[in-house]
């Protein structure tokens, strides 16, 4: 990202923060399960159908939401990086859905946690925060894209031969996978990694020479084909990518929780298991900063999240306790669109819309 762009973003951060009243980042106790109006609709994607037919029902029922998201993305791309990506995309004529499906490679913030209970049963949860710098609504103190995204969130059962291959949470119209569980095999989430040589450069290279793999599409392929935690781990560790990122994986066995920190190239990969003394011992937690570095002082979700995990304790690991952690500010913030709760043995995936009433951190 160019120096001027960084300076502009910092000015925006200061302006947004100036409108947010102070709050206490205490660990909360919230009702579980949440009210039914925070649940998301479920769809089936039939992998036996031709690709152009698989999303027909979603596209028909969510066409308004998909259109609104694409409009917001295009507005951002016109200004991001001097509009270079948008200009190239327009010249290539690849269309609006391509624009939609590359967007995660650019910018999101998230919190992912893999933990095990006292019996070694594995749980994987995450908040997905999306919409940073995409239009701050001064009057309502919300991010414009975040508000547009929530109505488009769906759960998907990916099926082949009428059998569920894996389950995921999707933004309608987005064909990659950011959060998913493959029953009896592994759980997965992906967090953005901020680097100067990041998704922006990777997308330009891909447009020019198709170098690298889209993270979310590679993840989807892996969820379809991997037959073990170890196989998934090897793929996520050794595939060249378009953007750097964090892959968070959970398995079926005790201690099978790991954060894989990736560059775009297959070098410098760092593997951080939950058993490491710098992790939680019974959990591993990732936001959007390398675990060996301090987070940005304006965006420390890591410290409060670890505080709430310790407050909860391993004896309370389960969906209710972990949902409390995800609902504690600033883990919960103005960017948070959903909380996903996964358990690998049962193949359970619960998705709940998340809202952060004032006073609340912008991210």
Cβ atoms of 280 and 314 within 8 Å: the answer is: no
Is residue 185 within 8 A of residue 177, CB to CB? The reply is no
Rg of the Cα atoms in the chain: 19
| Helix 302-312 vs helix 319-326: crossing angle, to nearest 10 | 150
27 is catalytic: no
Do 224 and 48 form a contact (C-beta atoms < 8 A)? no
Whole-angstrom distance, CA of residue 22 vs CA of residue 304: 15
Q: Which of 347, 292, 283, 277 is nearest to 321 (CA)?
A: 283
Find all residues with CB under 8 Å of 319, minimum gap 6, and list them: 32, 33, 123, 125, 341, 343, 350
φ, ψ of residue 209 in degrees (nearest 5): -135, 10
State the catalytic residue, choosing from 27, 110, 308, 356. 110
* Strand order from edge to edge, sheet including 109-116: 283-286, 109-116, 122-129, 336-343, 348-353
How distant, in Å, are the alpha carbons of 172, 188, 340 from that of 343? 23, 11, 10
Q: Which residues are catalytic?
A: 110
């Amino acid at each position: 990202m160019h120096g001027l762009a960084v300076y502009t973003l910092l000015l925006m951060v200061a302006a947004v923060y100036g409108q947010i009243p102070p709050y206490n980042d205490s660990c909360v106790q919230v009702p579980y399960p949440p009210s039914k109006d925070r649940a998301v609709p479920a769809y089936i994607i039939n992998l036996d159908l031709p690709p152009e037919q698989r999303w027909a029902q979603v596209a028909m029922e969510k066409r308004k939401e998909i259109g609104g998201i694409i409009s917001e993305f295009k507005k951002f791309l016109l200004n991001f990086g001097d509009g270079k990506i948008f200009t190239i995309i327009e010249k290539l004529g690849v269309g609006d859905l391509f624009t939609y499906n590359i967007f995660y490679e650019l910018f999101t913030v998230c919190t992912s946690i893999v933990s095990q209970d006292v019996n070694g049963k594995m749980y994987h949860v995450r908040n997905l925060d999306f919409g940073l710098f995409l239009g701050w609504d001064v009057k309502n103190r919300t991010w414009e894209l975040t508000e547009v995204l929530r109505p488009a969130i769906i759960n998907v059962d990916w099926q082949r031969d009428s059998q569920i291959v894996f389950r995921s949470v999707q933004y309608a119209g987005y064909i990659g996978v950011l959060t998913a569980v493959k029953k009896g095999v592994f759980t997965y989430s992906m967090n953005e990694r901020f680097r100067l040589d990041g998704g922006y450069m990777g997308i330009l290279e891909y447009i020019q020479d198709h170098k690298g793999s889209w993270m979310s599409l590679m993840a989807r392929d892996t969820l379809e084909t991997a037959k073990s935690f170890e196989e998934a781990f090897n793929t996520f560790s050794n595939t060249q990518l378009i953007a750097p990122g964090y892959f968070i994986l959970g398995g079926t066995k005790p201690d099978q929780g790991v954060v894989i920190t990736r560059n775009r190239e297959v070098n410098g990969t760092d593997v951080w298991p939950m058993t490491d003394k710098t992790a939680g011992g019974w959990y591993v937690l990732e936001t959007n900063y390398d675990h060996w570095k301090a987070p940005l002082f304006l965006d420390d979700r890591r410290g409060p999240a670890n505080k709430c995990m310790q407050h909860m304790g391993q004896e309370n690991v389960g969906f209710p306790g972990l949902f409390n952690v995800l609902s504690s500010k600033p883990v919960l913030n103005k960017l948070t669109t959903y909380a996903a709760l996964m358990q690998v043995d049962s193949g359970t995936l619960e998705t709940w819309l998340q809202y952060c009433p004032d006073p609340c951190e912008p991210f």
